[in-house]
Amino acid sequence: MSNYRSRSSLWEMIFRKLFPKRKSLSRSTGSETSWCGVEPSMIDEHQDGFYKYSQEILEQERREEMRLRSSNSTSASYASALMGPTDKPPLPFTVSSPDWNTFSSFIKTLEGIEDESSREFLSSVLLVWSRVYSVSKVVVMAFMHYGVELDNTPDSILAHIKRAEELIASNSISDLIDIAESLYYALYARLIMEIAAANLCASFTLEFRRLAPKSGSFILPEPGQLCKILYICKRTLDEPNVCINLNKELVTEHQKNYIRRSAERIHDGAFILDDLIGYRAHAFSIINDQSSEFCQSWNREGVLYEMPPKDVLALQSEKYLCFTPKHAVQQVAPALNLPFIEPHTIPKDVWDREIILDNRQATLAKLEGKTVGELRRKDGRRRLIDLVRERKCICRSVCICAHECTLDVERRCPCSERMLSLMVAKRRNSVGPLPFGPRCSALAKSTFQSIASVRPDVDDLELSVEIDRAIILLCEEIRKQRSAAAMTSGTII
């Protein structure tokens, strides 16, 4: 009987040690006394083999727990080890992935932790964050060239871009996820609205636009070409490594808010009544005709587009008739001090000899059916950056200036300023003299003008290549800025 009481009391001790919160598995002291008829024995009385074996197991578990806590493991990795496999979000991160919720306990655990596991998750988020930010800078710069109104409400594209630039040095995964998704949806919704507006404007032809490229200054793409550019930007946001689970309700909400704000501005007197070229009457007729190609494309089920009232849409689309950049571009993209070389600083005999060689090269290009820029890229006689500093053309054959620069080889290439700004940015290993936001705006201006300079008669693949170059350049600028911030703070990124 005493042996039975000893084993019973031993089980009571084991359950209390292993399951301290499960009181249903343990008996109360009072019930034990009435059931056994005696007080439970003390722990020191147990000297049988089962008790010793149990004590050894408990002691071994305590030593293992102490070893884990005193090892080099961080609190994040220790907490991660306690979580089940489903608690960790799968890599890579994508916008609106349900597993990457900012309220996730695992995401919160990674805050402020710098180990290999957390850096892997941070890199995945930064990859998408950088891509969304880069696309937004190019798209916003395109809008500004045409004078598209961009309000600065708390949920607008500009507000989210500003916040993203404030977080450029942040390692907070939850903050980066939040701004990446907020900027993504504000950009995505507005992008669809402007593609539709440019598409409507493309149905109207301005005859005097055809004379504009002969002026030699930068000319904005026609609405049809701009549609292609904006659509490729949207396609970049649709890539599966950026977003898989698109929240269509959120896109619709953004579009409705934009329409509401636009309608309020019109009702406040922002709608210009003059219609000197007849575009507005043309737009109204297209919108009212449900059989028109525009309505068939945009006003149908399955298209993620909220059709604005006709006066809002007409005013919105009318902006794409312009063919020279608006002054707002100069305000957000400051002029850069570029290292051009003026002809009067070069010895006359050297300059004259170079002019002779340039004319020979241009003649060869004409005979071979090529452009002088293509031959200069393959020649290797001089560095390309030195040619650009002298405002000589090195543009590819797809550029709208390439043919004219080949016919008149002594002509100052109209693309030299944006070409030199891009080349200087690529060659720079550290951050530039401007703050991060304005610096990226200046790069976005140059990259958009490179995209806009692609001839409209070439394959759309050339546009995609230029847009990819723009995104890569801006992503590289982000990397430089974060590296500089990390070196300053001593943080490993």
Structure confidence at residue 366 (pLDDT): 96
| Mean predicted lDDT score pLDDT of the chain | 83
Structure confidence at residue 216 (pLDDT): 60
3 pLDDT higher than 50: no
pLDDT in tens, 190-211: 999 999 999 999 999 876 554 4
Structure confidence at residue 52 (pLDDT): 54
Buried-state track 354-363, b at ≥16 Cβ within 10 A, e below 16: beeebeebbe
The helix (run of H) or strand (run of E) holding residue 316 is helix 310-318
Nearest to 348 by CA among 340, 356, 336: 356
Structure confidence at residue 7 (pLDDT): 45
Query: 163: pLDDT confidence band, cut at 50, 70 and 90?
Result: very high
Alpha carbon distance 307, 286 (integer Å)? 13
Alpha carbon distance 51, 38 (integer Å)? 21
16 pLDDT higher than 90: no
Nearest to 119 by CA among 482, 488, 467: 482
3-class SS of residue 176: helix
463 pLDDT higher than 80: yes
Structure confidence at residue 37 (pLDDT): 37
Considering only residues 155 and 28, tell me which one the structure prediction assigns the higher pLDDT: 155
115 pLDDT higher than 90: no
pLDDT in tens, 281-333: 999 999 999 999 999 999 988 899 999 999 999 999 999 999 899 988 888 88
Q: How many residues does the chain have?
A: 493
Average pLDDT over residues 249-268: 92
Alpha carbon distance 340, 202 (integer Å)? 38
Q: How far is CA 243 from CA 91, 96, 247, in A?
A: 13, 7, 10
226 pLDDT higher than 60: yes
Helices 416-427 and 460-489: angle between axes, nearest 10 degrees: 40
CB 384 within 8 A of CB 378: no
The helix (run of H) or strand (run of E) holding residue 450 is helix 436-452
Structure confidence at residue 43 (pLDDT): 41
Amino acid identity, residue 400? I
Average pLDDT over residues 5-19: 47
Nearest to 206 by CA among 321, 107, 364: 321
Structure confidence at residue 356 (pLDDT): 96
3-class SS of residue 239: coil
Structure confidence at residue 182 (pLDDT): 97
- Positive or negative: CA dihedral 185, 224, 303, 131: negative
Q: Which residues pair with 399 in a beta bridge?
A: 454
Rounded percentage of the chain residues whose pLDDT exceeds 90: 63
Q: Give me 245's structure tokens.
A: 């689970």
Query: 157: number of CA atoms within 13 Å, CB side?
Result: 27
Considering only residues 431 and 215, tell me which one the structure prediction assigns the higher pLDDT: 431
452 pLDDT higher than 70: yes
CB 467 within 8 A of CB 451: yes
Rounded percentage of the chain residues whose pLDDT exceeds 70: 77
DSSP string of 368-419, one letter each residue? HT--HHHHHHHH-SS-HHHHHHTT-----TTBTTHHHHHHSTTSPPTTHHHH
459 pLDDT higher than 60: yes
DSSP string of 106-141, one letter each residue? HHHHTTT--SHHHHHHHHHHHHHHHHHHHHHHHHHH
Which segments of 71-109 does DSSP mark as H helices, in order? 75-82, 105-109
Average pLDDT over residues 383-388: 96
Query: 272: pLDDT confidence band, cut at 50, 70 and 90?
Result: low
106 pLDDT higher than 90: no
> Cα-flanking dihedrals φ and ψ of residue 243, to 5°?
-150, 130
Nearest to 112 by CA among 175, 202, 28, 182: 175
220 pLDDT higher than 50: yes
Considering only residues 6 and 93, tell me which one the structure prediction assigns the higher pLDDT: 93
Q: Delimit the domains of the chain by residue range.
A: 105-326, 343-489
354 Cβ partners below 8 Å, 6+ apart? Answer: none
Query: 72: pLDDT confidence band, cut at 50, 70 and 90?
Result: very low
Global pTM value: 0.80
Question: Could you give the dihedral angle defined by the CA atoms of residues 153, 156, 159 and 164, in that order, rounded to the nearest 10 degrees?
Answer: 160
Judge residue 53's burial from the number of C-beta atoms within 10 Å of its C-beta, 0-12 exposed, 13-18 middle, 19 or more buried.
exposed
Structure confidence at residue 53 (pLDDT): 47
3-class SS of residue 335: coil
Alpha carbon distance 238, 470 (integer Å)? 17
Alpha carbon distance 123, 131 (integer Å)? 12
80 pLDDT higher than 70: no
Helices 436-452 and 116-146: angle between axes, nearest 10 degrees: 60
CB neighbours of residue 111 within 10 Å: 13
62 pLDDT higher than 90: no
Alpha carbon distance 284, 310 (integer Å)? 6
CB 145 within 8 A of CB 448: yes
Query: 77: pLDDT confidence band, cut at 50, 70 and 90?
Result: very low
3-class SS of residue 229: helix
Alpha carbon distance 113, 145 (integer Å)? 43
Alpha carbon distance 436, 166 (integer Å)? 9
73 pLDDT higher than 60: no
161 Cβ partners below 8 Å, 6+ apart? Answer: 133, 136, 137, 140, 183, 437
